Amino acid sequence: MKFSLCIGAYPGKDAVYHLEKVKEHGFQGLEYYAWWELGDLKKLAAEQERIGVGLSATCTKFISLVDESLRDDYLEGVRQTIEACRILGVRSIISQTGNVLDGVPRDQQRQAMVETLKRCAPLLEEAGMVLEVEPLNGLVDHAGHFLQRSDESVDVIDQVGSPNVKLVFDVYHQQITEGNVIRNATGYIDRINHYHIADNPGRKQPGTGEMNYVNILRAIKNTGFSGFVGLECGFTVDTDEAIQQFKEDILSQVL
């Protein structure tokens, strides 16, 4: 099991600063969502090599999986993202689904998503990358987002039927949406490519809310999971202090 920070952990600081902090804290990757804002990708690739750690995940450039009329735009965004990931050595591409379309049957929107993802699959298989669909909670943070529940998300992945199209399981979002976190986070392990973590309520660092992250992370580790767990959270204290506390209070009991 590897750990990553997410861009924004150090407000106002650039990707290189974050990568230096990833290295300093003994983590293994940085999630940087909007790769198109990075500027010279080859220059960043050289910085990654110098520092010894790199980007572990980024996002698709265009988000719309439920609107069939925007499929070509989505696919083009995936192609551009794959090319960026080749330069940066990234293997995980995160995608949200877009919001529910008014007046369109839900089954029709779900099928549009499945078909678009099926068309993405050969591009990802050729590139050796994984597209990760992300369910988000609609109660607090993302009202109207199409995919919210684990079971429906897994059904979509199963219909696509490609090892290069999986899920990113955000523990914070799924706690809000459905609870039952350990059962879903481990029961769907073969459809999950990586995890996001934050506590609830507040979406701050683990240890500040109601969630028992020692038990959650230990359960994930016990499945044999060897991928990334990303700290996608805000911090209630200085970032370095919060990360050190996370390592001492939680990771020391898990790893």
Active site residues: 134, 232
Closest by Cα among 163, 156, 138 to 148: 138
Q: Which residue has the tokens 């979509």?
A: 156
The whole-angstrom separation of Cα 255 and Cα 252 is 6
Give 235's contacts (C-beta < 8 A, 6+ positions apart). Answer: 9, 204, 205, 242
Q: Which residue has the tokens 């609107």?
A: 67
Burial of 118 (C-beta count, 10 Å sphere; 0-12/13-18/19+) = middle
Neighbours of 139 (CB within 10 A): 10
The string of DSSP codes covering 72-94 is HHHHHHHHHHHHHHHHHT--EEE
- Per DSSP, 26 falls in state T
Helix ranges, the chain (H):
15-24, 41-51, 71-88, 106-127, 150-160, 171-177, 181-187, 213-222, 239-249
